[in-house]
Amino acid sequence: MEVKFFADSMLGKLARWLRLMGFDTLYYPSISDEELIRESQKDGRIVLTKDSELVRENKNKVNFLYIVPSDPYEQIKIVIKKFKLDPWKGLFSRCVHCNEPIKKIENILEIKDEVPSYAYQNSSSFYRCPACGRIYWEGSHHKKIRAKIEELMQE
């Protein structure tokens, strides 16, 4: 079974990167500890947190990974290593804003007016998030992200 995460409110950038790599990661900038624990129990999520008190008080209820570094890239490396994640398999398969798996757009004519013309002309595949409607496509930002992941995996 795929590992699922719940990132605490201090780990927004980590959550975004995990979603980018396709991992099911819940994150809410403001959520109570009770809710976070309850939701994690419900879905069997691993709680990623910088809050040692949260871990101490709930360690019998859910699985935790206590994250020490403040640098998001260090955090990503820790999570990848700890759970032996493959950062490539599901790369760019999930909406970074709402965590939903994105769906390929079969008829790209339908999004012609929704994306910048350079993107429409230069990309062959487009995806839409079924939750927020955002459209994703292969572009230069993907190259940067791939390079960053390669760098992180080498260290």
Structure tokens at 135: 């459209």
The CA-atom distances, in angstroms, between 76 and each of 6, 56, 92 are 14, 23, 16
- Check binding of 135 to Zn ion (CB under 5 A): no
Residue 132 has a CB neighbour count (10 Å cut-off) of 11
Q: How far is the CB of 130 from Zn ion (least distance, A)?
A: 8
Query: Is residue 131 within the footprint of Zn ion (CB under 5 A)?
Result: yes
Choose which of 20, 21, 37, 129 interacts with Zn ion (CB under 5 A).
129
- Angstrom distance (rounded) from CA 48 to CA 6: 6
77 vs 134, beta carbon nearer Zn ion: 134
Count residues contacting Zn ion (CB under 5 A)?
7
Shortest spacing between CB 102 and Zn ion, in angstroms: 7
* Minimum CB distance to Zn ion smaller for 58 or for 99: 99
Q: Are 93 and 68 in contact (CB under 8 A)?
A: no
Say whether residue 56 binds Zn ion (CB under 5 A). no
Q: How many angstroms separate the CA atoms of 37 and 64, rounded? A: 10
String marking each residue 85-124 x if it binds Zn ion according to CB under 5 A:
----------x-xx--------------------------
At 130 the three-state DSSP class reads coil
